[in-house]
Amino acid sequence: NLFREEYSSILKDLNKNLIVFIDNLDRCLPQNAIQTLEAIRLFLFLPKTAFVIAADEDMIRTSVSEYFKGTSARHHIDYLDKLIQVPIRVPRTGLLEIRSYLFLLHAVNAGIEEDLIEDLRLALEKSLQESWHEDPMKKEDALKVLKCEGNIELAIAFDQVDRIAPIFATSPIIHGNPRIVKRLLNIVKMRSNIAKRRKISLDENVITKLVIFERCAGEEAANALYSMIDTNKNFKKIISEL
């Protein structure tokens, strides 16, 4: 009580609000995550004080169950419900958001000037805001914003976006997670560059198919596919049918 009184008095004298942002709490070990939340408890219901916590809710509930071993499932739910006053759940990234994100990633990978990429970002943002009554931005319009109408390689990459964005957005393995999307795209680029250095003629669309298959089907299925390709002369047909 003495701490709360002194703390409240200090903030009152300063005539300022205290807002503390805590990001990636779910990346902490269970003990550290819960100890952080317990420390926050000391400041609950104090005037002019707010904590903004960004974390994966399921991961934090798992930390609660590990930290308070032997407690019931109901306790795990109540713990966060009592601590978090205003929960704000960020919706999963949708198809149009993933599509826009892929456009930007391809533009960055193509080495487009930062000013033009910012122009594209603003144009895509406007397109998303108006998506409820307007069609999404076309790849031709995106290329025009970037002043890359004649860039065939970027046009091919943008054309691919419309094929893979639905998979990224709806796959239960990828969940429209931007970090996973960027990671998969980086893997595709890395393998494509390796193939070019070794002078292997390999379509980037094929590499993309394989990378997505590995992620969504799992290691065992991927190994089985590669074994099938190694022992089958018609491997091109197998890949085209993925």
What is the structure's pLDDT at 35?
A: 94
Long-range contacts of 136-144 (CB under 8 A, 24+ apart): 136/96, 136/99, 137/100, 137/103, 139/103, 142/103
* Token pair listed for 161: 């976006």
The span from the CA of 96 to the CA of 127, in Å, is 9
Residues 6+ apart with CB under 8 A from 3: 42
**97, pLDDT greater than 90:** yes
- Per-residue pLDDT tens for 38-56? 988 888 778 888 999 999 9
- Per-residue pLDDT tens for 171-213? 989 988 999 999 999 999 999 999 889 888 878 888 888 999 9
**125, pLDDT greater than 70:** yes
Contact 67, 31 (CB under 8 A): yes
List, in sequence order, every beta strand (DSSP E) within the chain: 18-22, 49-53
Q: Is the pTM of this model over 0.85?
A: no
Contact 202, 189 (CB under 8 A): no
- Per-residue pLDDT tens for 71-85? 888 888 888 888 898
Average pLDDT taken over every residue of the chain: 89
What is the structure's pLDDT at 11?
A: 84
* Token pair listed for 169: 């957005």
- Per-residue pLDDT tens for 139-153? 999 999 999 999 999
What is the structure's pLDDT at 239?
A: 65
The span from the CA of 119 to the CA of 205, in Å, is 27
